[in-house]
Structure 1
Amino acid sequence: MAEGRGEPHDSVGGRWHDEGVHLPPSSAALIGRDADLRELDALYAQVVAGEPRAVVVAGEAGIGKSRLLAEFTARNADSARILRGQCVDLGEVATPYAPITAVLRELVDQAGTERVLEAAGPGWDTIGVLLPELGDHVAGGANENRLHEGVALLLEHFARERPVIVVIEDLHWADEATLTVLRFLLRAVASGPIMIVLTYRSDDVHRGHPLRVFLTEIERGRRAKRLELRRLTRAQVRKQAQSILGRTPDFDLVESVFERSEGVPFFVEELLASEDSILPETLRDVLLARYERLDDATQYFLRVVSAGGQRVEHDLVEDVFDGGPEQLDAAARAAVVANVLMVDDSAYTFRHALVREAVHGDLLPGERTRFHGRYAEALAGREKPGDITEIAYHWHAANNHAKAFPAKIAAMRSASQAYAYATAAQMGERALEIWDAIDDAESVAGMPRSKLMGKVAAYLHTAGEPERALGTITLAIALGDVDGPDLARHLMLKAQCLQNTAKLGAIPLLREALELVPPGANESLRATILYRLAARYMIEGAQPNAVDMATQALELAQEISDPEAASVASNIRGVARAHGGDVEGGLADLEQAKDLAEGNSDALLRFRVNYSDMLNLLGRYDESVAVADEGLDRSRELGVERSSGAILASNMIDPLFARGEWERANRLLDRVIALSPPLTFRVYLLRAKVWSTLWRGDLEAAERMFKHWSPHMVALAEVEVQTRLQYVRLAGELALAQDDAAAAWGHLSHVISAEFRSLPGHSVVIYAEAARALARLRADGSTEVDVDDAEKRLREAIDADSFWPNSHHWHAVVDAELGGPTRTGDGVAEWQRALEGAEALLAQTRPYLLLRLGMAQHGAGQRSEAVETLEQAIDAANTLGAGLITNQARTFAQRAGLPLGGAPGRHETGSVELTAREQQVLDLIAEGLTNRQIGERLFISVKTASVHVSAILRKLGASSRTEAAMIAERSTIRV
């Protein structure tokens, strides 16, 4: 059973027929793969039913991956559109998008150019990037995100007609751009009959291989299934031998073949093809056995073809082969008859990649240099854009630095224009490796070494490798061979790398860059530096500086008639002004940013991102959702719904939660997380996921997720005030849900720390959570925290942010948390006042306030009122899906003996179980002793006393020490 078996054809498509030649046989039957084929058929049945699926077929070289897929696609050829792509072995750097381009070319061949361009929809102008031959049919305006979208839209469109099966083989040779497209497709194609089948050599994917990360990611997804092909058993080798030989093989032959092939089907075929059953001794001998039986001229021809790759076009071989046409045809015919090569209408393909590698590995040094050099020259003469990377590869393989260097620079530029930034970076790095071997490298490259390093760093950064980009740009700056605007660009890039790796230091770099571009030197660059500096100040909470820098950027951009830069600057200034105290002025700036962005898609999307976020923080949730949704619609029109649109989708999630649409918010949240957006956006989404899980009532899962993801949140919190605030709020809410007031205060107290920089839209919510933690500490009699002083400082912080439109409603919640006779939240009137403004706050606030009111009513002896209020809290929580509140309300009612829905409460039918020590502590609580006094009386530490008090309050369902004493008086406490 061969991995790839084909019918021999001549170069013009006619069937070769030579009755005097015996073709070494392959197995006609598929042996040992029945279960694997059934698995593929089962997955395809799911695809036909409308569910996209992916399968990764793994196995060592020669195991039969291609043969299995040939069988699978042949049996479904009538029902499905089958599109194939092949990754090509060009050493460490592959041609960008090669297998994706092959898939699209096959689609064009099947459906026609016009239909493909029409089907691409908004992504039609990206097709020219992948299919340069269609340059006359497409226009500019593409970008990396739209390229990915364009491929997805095409597949989805044609899948509406009939199922689409995309087969891409030899993924171990794939370039990063191809992997990025596949990664996107596997996450983004959410519906329709599309099946993506990928193969790779498992023995070639070593530790550190770039494919490992990709495989780990996709195999975690629910739609991707791994299929590992195993070696054949002795019985299966016997069946394969019988199929190949047409007779029952003798015992000794089967034993020898099985032992030497180790059950690898391709090796079984090669061993059985050996003459006179003289079996080769080594793997190299097995691979070269057919080759070495050919005449010298045919062997020479195969060596030439091997330098061209696994599949080489006939026209290209003609240009490279130094014999005449008759010699070429004769050698090609002999190689095909010997089953070493296969042919189609236009190209030669080695029967198996292992054979090609063995023949290529057998080249003499002079042949290697000569053949690869000829391929490079022949490809350069064709002047096809897709050949540029291959030209660089051949000059590199020929060890010709003088020609390899400019070829690598050209390949770098070509890859960047195709948005294959990882390949562009690799080509740039290869050029840098031989820089010192090139005479006047700066002139040949058209730039100084550090400028080339800067380009490589920029490509690495865009390709999602900010750490490597940071290291490269740091070295570029250290070279010191550029200054002025070029050095300023280097500094800007380093600042961006620091930001994206959650490191401090971006602001000093941007200030240094600004000094290198004084007024009048390069106004466009200066405006960019100014608004980026403004953005960093805004993100780090230095609002006055942000307003100053943004104002300068806005004025300069308007002076040089750059509406996009002016829009971005006005946008940033608006956010900074609002958080700094001028809400109306900030909103006016944001409206101006919208007007300036008119006609510019990128600037408009950026406006919608910041404006929707600001509306959410202001409590204008309906408007926030509408603005984000409008941006999401526009992103669909532009073909960037699953990329740039992801941040707009994430901006819808918080206001959807806030206005009570939790089910819709959770659906959107899961969908956007599945797209795996950039780290910064992913942190926001993960925070929302933990928060949602907590409030749904799954405390254990929320805690587990928080521990797993918190390192990413903490890292980003170092450089972003809003992330810092979101993190302390989430950590505080988790601790409060676990009845750990001390831990909660440890997080939430950041809002009153000396170095705290407030963003009022985030802070006002945290003030209420902090007040709750303080109240619990006061109820516990904590001496670790000076509660009165902390409350004083908390109220000062609230007053400082009182300009925020909905702050007075949150202020009322703080008053309730710290109000009542004991200042621990036991005041009925305070909770009733807080409830009056609940509709203007977050959706979960109302059921929470009802819960706290019910607890306070119970503590005040208003039992019937408490029951009614708690039932209202549970109804509101259930409607919302806030299981956390439902659980807390029911637990409190049970412990307090309150009958909900007519059911008798626990305290009315039984007793509360306290330990002997807890009973002692409860008696002392009733006497009015503090935790310290209890500790002194019982000879225990203050912390131990606090633990006992918390346990007692929890068991009794009491919100304060006073309420615990009242419950004890009415109940039978069993020790």
Structure 2
Amino acid sequence: MTSSSTSPTMIGRDTESAWLDGLLDGVRAGAPATAVIGGEAGIGKSRLVREFAAGLGPDVRFVLGQCVDLGEVAAPYAPVKGALRALVAQVGAERALEAVGPGRAALVALLPELAASEGGVAGEIVITPGGAGSGQLHEAIAVLLETLSREEPIVLVMEDLHWVDAATLALLRFLLRSLGSSRVLLLLTYRTDDVTRGHPLRGFLSEAERDRWVERRELSRLSHDQVRDLVRSLIVDESPNDQVLDTVFVRSDGVPFFVEELVGIDGCRDEGFVPDTLRDLLLARYERLPEPAQELLRLLSTGGVRVSHALLSAVYRGDEAALDAAARESVRFGVIEVDGDDYAFRHALVREAILADLLPGERARFHARYAEAYEAQAAAGRRRLAAEISYHWLGAHDPIRAFPATIQAMREARAAVAYASAAQLGERALELWESVPDAERISGMSKIELMSRTASHLRHAGEGERSLAMVKAALAECPRDDEQYPRLLRDKALYLAGVGRGGSIPILEEALEAIAADDDADDLRVTVLTALAGRLMIEARLDEAVRIADEAFELAQRIDFPRYASVAMNISAVSRAARGEVERALVDIERSRELAQGEGSALLRYWVNASDLRNLVGDYHEAVRLAEEGLERARKQGVERSSGVILASNAVDPLLALGQWERADALIERGLALDPPAPFRVYLQRAKLWALVWRGDAERAAELLRGYRSTMTPIMAVEMQTRLGVSRVAVEIALATGDVAQAWRDGRAVLHEERLPLAGYAEPLLWALSRVIAAVRADPARVSEAEAAEIIAAEPELRDVLDRLAFWPTHLLWAAFVEAELQGTDAAWRAAVDAASADTAPGFLLPYAQLRLGEALLADGDRAGARDALQSAFAGAVAGGVTAVQTRAARVAMQAGIGLEGATSGDVSRGTAGVAGADDPADAVSELTARERQVLELIAEGLSNRQIGERLYISGKTASVHVSAILRKLGASSRTEAVFLARVAR
């Protein structure tokens, strides 16, 4: 019998093939997808990908990226570069650069050969504060794929993710969230048995499974019948007997590659040929080769799964004829394959078995040859190869030669904005430092500086805690009189803030004291002053923030540092506004734009703070304009994931105030899809929760808040505006879901802030708290007796805080609403309606005030006035998209027997926010006990809890418990509403 090394047909994967074809059909129709294929070694992942690729039509672009096994620190973006080079080859360099748009510089940084088409020289892209460099590259690649996929669908394959480098993994994480408008099928494969506990891919896979675009499958072993079919497809001229087939099935465990190897050993003549161990099976073909071929394969295995002919020639010690002869034999025996100009092992398992068979001295010699060959290629300027050189010199046990390569690899990774890889290489260089004589001269930096750079790379890679640990270690080794010391202190303060922890301010103050008192240190001094002013502003230490910001501004002006002059003026303006100097602040913040002189990061900071300030003073249209103007600039600069997310959230709040819910939703979802750093993500999450409450899905908001709290809490501890904003939303969610006690706990801290809270954020929170006080005053039994006493007694404190914020432009609006909630009279609510009619009032407030006016008029018996108010509330809520108010207005009218124009039964049964209501009053009333129905009748007579108790010979407290149960069962927010619901049920 004769056999082939690979089956001509793929066996047992029809279901998976159909699955991939279905995903591609969806991609063609405009729905992006990601397929994650896992499986043990030899199970057929690559074969499935090859068969899928072979069946693609001419309308689909196929690009493949292969991860490389270079140990723990792989070359950054290795599979990405391969895939993108293939894509550029298909469309042309000029078209690729045109498609990527503003991200040209980032793409050229990754693929320097594009510099010629760009008409310039490749170099590092401009890195903006906040680790935006990797964001620029990620955004550039996403834009490239999105743009080109509009012409033809793209299948982008990343093979062998168990070897993935940190930079590629970060990019994939970004692409999963950001390709929502593309026609891209992302196909990822990995070996399950190599992804052990602690492997970075494990976390990525867990995250990916939560994404709606991602489907994950693991390939199973072949069944007995499928193994029979596979063996028969491999045997060319005769079928083996059943006993041999059974033996192959048992010994292969249904793994296709093992089946092929077993059949390929000697044609599957009988069961006696079967190797005893997996190692023997994997080496069976190799060991039948002559020694020259075996030596070549050992050398090849040291280079990786795939090695180019040119590289193999450079490391091979024989002549070309001997190399060709050994390679030809290896191909004939089915150990390796020829793929273009490369030699590749038919399976990575075979390469790993041969590699494990190397002697220690042999392995070191081979690694040294590869390192020298890569050095020669790098010297010829072909491409960046320092990571490969470092890996092979380490394999050769030569730390002295590995060290400079590692330093260079770190720089190359940084130039390609592969921060995660740069950080790993920096850590490797630090491990080698003590083994290298004169390491400082070779690296061109001190050990302290290397630690500082590594900490910076860790921060930019999103490893906040590790960056903090590294800079602390650097400080521990750095003498206090060293010029690096204040820089390290500054960095420590910034890294602390980056992970949402306090303590930055005293560290920055210490840094100022440590800076040398001479003009040469002015550049450093102004950066520390500006950072300190910013932290003081965030913690609402406003007077100090103004003083330090003004000092920073004067210094920046003196040393002609326009970026920091702009930022300092910006911080000063915002801080002045927060303490009441609003008119001056509006002038100064525009001056900060002029001072920026077109400098990107300073301009972005202007747009962030200017748009926020305009929103807080009620100039919503201008706030949206400024935020969207800045967001467009952030996209062009490739920093949508950092500054862009803040600007998106700054656009969201005024859009919600204007009732433009869909535009706001789109910005929220886009921003969250970019997976921004935690402080930026919290801004969007807060806005999302608030929108859910007022659009009638309070239960969903409560569910999300439970998941968000762990992220929000540390940020709230150090940022007052976040603390106030999130607290307000939490209070409103708790009120909407009927948990009055939790609402109070979530918001009461504002009454005891050490410093005057930021008025623009505090006053809406005070309004929410006034609703809590009013709810408890109306029905104290909704909370414990102690809580009721605390809440009702807090009214004077709330009014005092509100009065101290009277300087704020929108104070009269919020004061009117607080007063209306606390008084509850129709006169107070008429005043609130008038206040909500101003241009500076958020749109949702007017229908809400009209609703509450209608309820107050009903309580006073003015049905005609109540109908007009409820009709206005309903119509305004429908027009403004305020679903919660629309539902409550319709329900209150129904309960009162008042018909509203345009209202339907669907309006009443729709989910609510701010009101917990039963969909069917009759069902709710049927749940009442006999005693509760008695109590309800007495409520209808207008009796108090004490009077009800006297009538029924029970205590007032017991009556109160019955009243609370009635309100809960009927979904009523007040005693009056409970009576209306009961009447409707009849």
TM-score of the aligned structures, taking structure 2 as reference length: 0.90
Alpha-carbon shift at residue 806 of structure 1 (Å) = 1.1
Structure 2 residue corresponding to 1:478, chosen from 476, 479, 484: 476
**Share of identical aligned residues, percent?**
46
Structure 2 residue corresponding to 1:369, chosen from 354, 364, 369: 364
Alpha-carbon shift at residue 147 of structure 1 (Å) = 1.6
- In structure 1, distance between residues paired with 2:768 and 2:303: 67
Q: Judging changes above 3 Å, is the alpha-carbon distance between structure 1 residues 61 and 958 closer, same or farther for their aligned structure 2 residues?
A: closer
Kindly provide the amino acid, as one letter, of the partner of residue 886 in structure 2: T
- In structure 2, distance between residues paired with 1:148 and 1:532: 27
Partner of 1:688: 687
Alpha-carbon shift at residue 939 of structure 1 (Å) = 7.1
1:95·1:386 contact (CA, 8 Å) conserved in 2? Answer: no
Kindly provide the amino acid, as one letter, of the partner of residue 251 in structure 1: D
- What does 1:51-66 align with in structure 2 at a 5 Å threshold? 51-66=31-46
- In structure 2, distance between residues paired with 1:262 and 1:629: 59
1:518·1:526 contact (CA, 8 Å) conserved in 2? Answer: no
Kindly provide the amino acid, as one letter, of the partner of residue 816 in structure 1: A
SS at match of 1:274: helix
Kindly provide the amino acid, as one letter, of the partner of residue 533 in structure 1: L
Kindly provide the amino acid, as one letter, of the partner of residue 849 in structure 1: A
Kindly provide the amino acid, as one letter, of the partner of residue 68 in structure 2: V
Deviations 1:439-484 (A, max 9, x none): 3434433333333222222111110111112222222212234644
Alpha-carbon shift at residue 201 of structure 1 (Å) = 0.9
1:556 aligned onto 2:555: yes
Q: Which stretch has the larger CA shift, 272-281 or 737-746?
A: 737-746
Q: Judging changes above 3 Å, is the alpha-carbon distance between structure 1 residues 646 and 145 closer, same or farther for their aligned structure 2 residues?
A: same
Q: Which stretch has the larger CA shift, 882-891 or 533-542?
A: 882-891
Q: Which stretch has the larger CA shift, 804-813 or 382-391?
A: 382-391
Partner of 2:804: 800
Deviations 1:233-271 (A, max 9, x none): 111111111111123221111111111111111111111
SS at match of 1:805: coil
Q: Judging changes above 3 Å, is the alpha-carbon distance between structure 1 residues 916 and 933 closer, same or farther for their aligned structure 2 residues?
A: closer
Kindly provide the amino acid, as one letter, of the partner of residue 103 in structure 1: A
Q: Judging changes above 3 Å, is the alpha-carbon distance between structure 1 residues 699 and 126 closer, same or farther for their aligned structure 2 residues?
A: closer
1:297·1:331 contact (CA, 8 Å) conserved in 2? Answer: yes
Kindly provide the amino acid, as one letter, of the partner of residue 675 in structure 2: S
Aligned residues: 945
Alpha-carbon shift at residue 797 of structure 1 (Å) = 1.3
Partner of 1:540: 539
Partner of 1:338: 333
1:484·1:516 contact (CA, 8 Å) conserved in 2? Answer: no
1:132·1:386 contact (CA, 8 Å) conserved in 2? Answer: no
- What does 1:649-668 align with in structure 2 at a 5 Å threshold? 649-668=648-667
- In structure 1, distance between residues paired with 2:751 and 2:107: 55
Kindly provide the amino acid, as one letter, of the partner of residue 931 in structure 2: A
- In structure 1, distance between residues paired with 2:200 and 2:973: 56
Q: Which stretch has the larger CA shift, 781-790 or 853-862?
A: 781-790
Partner of 2:55: 75
Alpha-carbon shift at residue 218 of structure 1 (Å) = 2.4
1:855 aligned onto 2:855: yes
Partner of 2:916: none
Q: Judging changes above 3 Å, is the alpha-carbon distance between structure 1 residues 957 and 160 closer, same or farther for their aligned structure 2 residues?
A: closer
- What does 1:731-880 align with in structure 2 at a 5 Å threshold? 731-753=730-752, 755=754, 757-781=756-780, 784-785=788-789, 789-819=793-823, 825=824, 827-839=825-837, 840-880=840-880
Partner of 1:322: 317
Q: Which stretch has the larger CA shift, 322-331 or 611-620?
A: 322-331
Q: Judging changes above 3 Å, is the alpha-carbon distance between structure 1 residues 864 and 915 closer, same or farther for their aligned structure 2 residues?
A: farther
Q: Judging changes above 3 Å, is the alpha-carbon distance between structure 1 residues 974 and 677 closer, same or farther for their aligned structure 2 residues?
A: closer
Deviations 1:14-63 (A, max 9, x none): xxxxxxx9985321111111111111111111222232222112111111
Alpha-carbon shift at residue 109 of structure 1 (Å) = 2.6
- In structure 2, distance between residues paired with 1:329 and 1:505: 66
1:564·1:603 contact (CA, 8 Å) conserved in 2? Answer: yes
- Residue segments in structure 1 that go unaligned for 5+ positions in a row: 1-20, 820-824
- In structure 2, distance between residues paired with 1:124 and 1:964: 62
1:780·1:931 contact (CA, 8 Å) conserved in 2? Answer: no
- In structure 1, distance between residues paired with 2:984 and 2:187: 67
1:874·1:886 contact (CA, 8 Å) conserved in 2? Answer: yes
Partner of 2:299: 304
Deviations 1:890-937 (A, max 9, x none): 443444554545999999999996752685698599798677997999
Alpha-carbon shift at residue 872 of structure 1 (Å) = 2.3
- What does 1:327-406 align with in structure 2 at a 5 Å threshold? 327-383=322-378, 384-406=382-404
Q: Judging changes above 3 Å, is the alpha-carbon distance between structure 1 residues 911 and 391 closer, same or farther for their aligned structure 2 residues?
A: closer
Partner of 2:68: 88
Q: Which stretch has the larger CA shift, 122-131 or 952-961?
A: 952-961
1:448·1:481 contact (CA, 8 Å) conserved in 2? Answer: no
SS at match of 1:227: strand
- In structure 2, distance between residues paired with 1:271 and 1:911: 75
Partner of 2:915: none
1:89·1:309 contact (CA, 8 Å) conserved in 2? Answer: yes
1:318·1:325 contact (CA, 8 Å) conserved in 2? Answer: yes
SS at match of 2:6: coil
Partner of 1:17: none
Partner of 1:234: 224
Partner of 1:718: 717
- In structure 1, distance between residues paired with 2:149 and 2:83: 14
Alpha-carbon shift at residue 736 of structure 1 (Å) = 1.8
Q: Judging changes above 3 Å, is the alpha-carbon distance between structure 1 residues 960 and 339 closer, same or farther for their aligned structure 2 residues?
A: closer
Kindly provide the amino acid, as one letter, of the partner of residue 402 in structure 2: A
Alpha-carbon shift at residue 210 of structure 1 (Å) = 0.6
2:368·2:393 contact (CA, 8 Å) conserved in 1? Answer: yes
Partner of 1:648: 647
Alpha-carbon shift at residue 159 of structure 1 (Å) = 2.4
Q: Judging changes above 3 Å, is the alpha-carbon distance between structure 1 residues 852 and 519 closer, same or farther for their aligned structure 2 residues?
A: farther
Q: Judging changes above 3 Å, is the alpha-carbon distance between structure 1 residues 847 and 104 closer, same or farther for their aligned structure 2 residues?
A: same
SS at match of 1:312: strand
Q: Judging changes above 3 Å, is the alpha-carbon distance between structure 1 residues 851 and 275 closer, same or farther for their aligned structure 2 residues?
A: same
Alpha-carbon shift at residue 78 of structure 1 (Å) = 2.4
Q: Judging changes above 3 Å, is the alpha-carbon distance between structure 1 residues 38 and 929 closer, same or farther for their aligned structure 2 residues?
A: closer
- What does 1:550-629 align with in structure 2 at a 5 Å threshold? 550-629=549-628
Structure 2 residue corresponding to 1:116, chosen from 91, 96, 103: 96
Alpha-carbon shift at residue 203 of structure 1 (Å) = 1.4
Deviations 1:294-320 (A, max 9, x none): 111111111111111111122221221
Alpha-carbon shift at residue 214 of structure 1 (Å) = 1.7
Deviations 1:850-903 (A, max 9, x none): 111011101111122212322322222233332322333344344455454599
- In structure 1, distance between residues paired with 2:948 and 2:546: 53
Alpha-carbon shift at residue 974 of structure 1 (Å) = 12
Q: Which stretch has the larger CA shift, 561-570 or 944-953?
A: 944-953
- In structure 2, distance between residues paired with 1:623 and 1:915: 59
Structure 1 residue corresponding to 2:24, chosen from 26, 35, 44: 44
Alpha-carbon shift at residue 148 of structure 1 (Å) = 1.8
Alpha-carbon shift at residue 292 of structure 1 (Å) = 0.5
Partner of 2:452: 454
Kindly provide the amino acid, as one letter, of the partner of residue 282 in structure 1: T
Partner of 1:187: 177
1:911·1:972 contact (CA, 8 Å) conserved in 2? Answer: no
2:948·2:956 contact (CA, 8 Å) conserved in 1? Answer: no
- In structure 1, distance between residues paired with 2:925 and 2:158: 69
TM-score of the aligned structures, taking structure 1 as reference length: 0.91
